[in-house]
Amino acid sequence: MLTRRLRLPAATLAVSLLATAGCEPAAPQKQGAPPVQKVTYLTGFGLLGQDAYMFVAREKGFFRDVGLEVDIKPGAGTGENLKLLLAGKADFATIDLTGAIIAYGTGARGFTTVAAVHQRSTSCIIALEGRGISGPRDLAGKTIGYQPGGVNYTLFPVYARLAGLDPTTVRWVSVPPPQIRTALAAGTVDAITELVVGKPGVESAAAGRTVVTLPYSDYLTDLYGNALAVPLGFRADTVTRFRDAMMRGLAYAIDHPAEAGQIFAKFQPQYPAKVAEAETALMAAYVRPDRAGVPIGALEPQRVMRSIALLQAAGAVPAGITPDQLVSFNLSPGASATAVR
């Protein structure tokens, strides 16, 4: 692990980079309470129902309880989120941990991850029923809509080869995040990159038509899904406060999906509360660890090492990458260390 103590650069505070997502006035500060620290957070990809837990954490005062005021911004996939994080334009970001490993292998530095949102990968390809796609091999000759920088696109060749599909037989079309689901519904593309928990949102965009989901986890079984990333440079106390409030919101949301959907719709009125509820409910199976005693958000060195080894065997990353280069395990939920290392 890196051993130097890291401090929070003032330049990263209260950064504005994209259109504000449902901002509201800060609650009155309690007399004698420490000053509220403003931070900026990027979602994984756009503003979707699966992000309801962040709005739950804000609405319920979980961030306020730890002295934080969080500006929630729509992210644009792992690659772009890392660029913004490393450029000092965001303080926290959700990224796909597999995508982070691949990015690190191609030279991305200056970030670390501290908590898992998903204990297994939620990456998938989604198609509408009736388009001749029922399994990975059916994607040959088809057009897939994707967001550049997203891990689904980056990881697709590994998934395809394991599934028996030549990845070069697929045609790719770049689609902006807000339009990717409507592109599928309109038939502009045959399939799209998505997350398994996004299925209700895709069905809603497709006017209730049945969709076919091809999860990467069917072939890539050891991979984590989304994780919380921070730039190397943050004080550990800020990281742990944000992490704990975020995980508290995540746990509350999956236990109360209907309420989470209502809260999300309050901030994003164009997004149906029932769809946000369904996406949040689907997240539960991916958020809760399989083993008893492992807290929500935990990252385990052995599993991260297995993920790295799988990607190395597939030729997706070079040899020599270690878990400690990607994860500050001493800041993972359940750890007790006091500094980013």
CATH number for the domain harbouring residue 64: 3.40.190.10
What is the domain extent for residue 170?
123-218
In a domain, 20, yes or no: yes
For residues 132 and 75, membership in a common domain is answered with no
Pair 137, 209: CB distance under 8 Å: no
DSSP designation for 327 = B
Residues 247 and 194 in one domain: no
Cα 113 versus chain centre, distance: 11
Which one of 172, 190, 218 terminates a domain? 218
Residue 338: inside a domain: no
First to last CA, the chain: 5
Specify the amino acid at residue 232. Answer: L
Residues 113 and 146 in one domain: no
C-alpha radius of gyration, the chain, whole number: 19
**How far apart (Å, rounded) are the C-alpha atoms in residues 80 and 6?**
24
Residue 340 within a domain = no
> How far is C-alpha 31 from the chain's CA centre?
36
Instruction: Identify the bridge partners of residue 177 per DSSP, sorted by sequence position.
Output: none
Please tell me the total number of residues recorded for the chain in this structure. Answer: 341
Question: Are the C-beta atoms of 94 and 207 separated by less than 8 Å?
Answer: no
Q: What does the pLDDT read at residue 32?
A: 53
Q: Is residue 1 part of a domain?
A: no
Q: Do 276 and 295 fall into the same domain? A: yes
Question: pTM for this one?
Answer: 0.78
**How far is Cα 60 from Cα 218, in angstroms, rounded to an integer?**
36
Asked if 116 contacts 299 with a C-beta cutoff of 8 angstroms, the reply is yes
The answer to whether 83 and 110 have CB atoms below 8 angstroms apart is no
Tell me how crowded residue 177 is: count the other CB atoms within 10 A of its CB.
Answer: 18
Domain total of the chain: 2
Residue with tokens 């660890």: 289
pLDDT tens digits, the chain, 341 residues: what are they? Answer: 333 334 333 333 333 333 333 334 444 445 555 688 999 999 998 899 999 999 999 999 999 999 999 999 999 889 899 999 999 999 999 999 998 999 999 999 999 999 999 999 989 999 999 889 999 999 999 999 998 767 788 889 989 998 999 999 999 999 987 889 999 999 999 999 988 888 888 988 888 889 999 999 899 888 999 999 999 978 899 999 999 999 999 999 999 999 999 999 999 999 999 999 999 999 999 999 988 788 999 999 999 999 999 888 878 889 999 999 999 999 999 874 433 44
Helix (H, G, I), strand (E, B) or coil at 112: strand
Beta bridge partners of 22: none
Edge-to-edge order in the sheet of strand 143-146:
171-174, 143-146, 191-195, 123-128, 211-215
Domain boundary among 218, 241, 260: 218
Note whether 114 and 211 are same-domain residues.
Answer: no
* Amino acid 337: pLDDT: 40
